[in-house]
Amino acid sequence: MSALLSVADVHISYGKVEAVRGVSLEVGTNEIVTIIGANGAGKTTLLNAIMGVLPLKGRTSFAGTDMAPSDIEDRVAMGLSLVPEHRELFGTMNVEDNLELGAFRIAKAVAARSLERVYALFPRLKERRKQLAGTLSGGEQQMLAMGRALMGAPKLLMLDEPSLGLAPIIVADIFRTVGELRAAGVSVLLVEQNAQAALQIADRAYVMELGEFVLEGSARDIAANKRVAASYLGFQHEGESAV
């Protein structure tokens, strides 16, 4: 069985500094996979390189097709979508225009149905549909970024730190939505510092440290791992209580 996304022995460098070293990962159809790790482990770098924002060395394929010759726009057309850490919304355009552009490559009739689905998933966006994206709250911007990505009907959605800087109640909301995506036939590759929340919804997990995967397995096994519990889950509790 071939995986939806397959990444083998990938190296990514910023000049002379090698930020990701020999990483391999797979995401299957209808699977939620998470990559957890501390700040600076190379998680964001890896996602950006899979999307084509950064160059990489190694083999990558999506739905059986080699991704090497395709640029960002081709990968979007293949069904790969990234919700980047900084969201990259069109701040001076309204919510509905942002969503509509998410379906830039999709036929208009299909886009109209996607819009209904996204509004059903995030009712808040429907309330704010005439508001400029730049004036939304952080949580709403995250919802809009996810909604915009979903408008393109991706097969695999890559989420980079969706919980960053958001209130716990909104984080719970976002993670609940990520869980719902599976039912809609969308696979998810989730990069998170909030390891506890990520491990709760994921099927499988990779633990990244200093540019390498140090552990991989089912989310339940990873959550039960003593080392992970000490360095990530424990740390998360302290981090949260400190806020």
Partner 1 sequence: MNTTILLFLLQDGITNGAVYALLGLALVLVFAVTRVILIPQGEFVTYGALSYAMLATGQVPGTVQLAVAMGIVAFGLDLFFARKALRARLVMRSAALNIVFPVALLVVTYKVAGPTTPMAVNIALALLIVAAIGLFLYRIAFQPIAHTSVLVLLIASVGCHLALQGLGLVFFGAEGLRGPALSNAALTVGPLRFTGQSLAVYGLTVAFIVGLWLFFGYTRMGKALRATAVNRLGARLVGIRTTLSGQIAFLLASVIGAISGILIVPITTLYYDTGFLIGLKGFIAAIIGGLVSYPLTAVAAILVGIVEAFSSFYASNFKEVIVFTLILPVLVLRSLAAPAVEEEKD
Task: List the interface residues with partner 1, window 103-122 (CB under 8 A).
Answer: 104-105, 108
Which two three-digit tokens encode residue 20? 């990701």
**Can you list the pairs that 180-183 forms with residues at least 24 positions away whose Cβ atoms lie under 8 Å?**
180/121, 181/150, 181/157, 182/30, 182/31, 182/32
Q: Angle between the 95-102 and 138-151 helix axes, to the nearest 10 degrees?
A: 30
Min dist. Cβ of residue 105 to partner 1 (A): 4
- Interface map 185-224 toward partner 1 (x if CB under 8 A): ----------------------------------------
CA distance linking residue 189 with residue 26, whole number of Å: 10
Min dist. Cβ of residue 174 to partner 1 (A): 19
Task: List the interface residues with partner 1, window 63-92 (CB under 8 A).
Answer: 69-70, 72-73, 76-77, 81-82, 84, 87-92
Min dist. Cβ of residue 208 to partner 1 (A): 22
Residue ranges that bind partner 1, judged by CB under 8 A = 51, 53, 69-70, 72-73, 76-77, 81-82, 84, 87-93, 97, 100-102, 104-105, 108, 148-149, 151-152
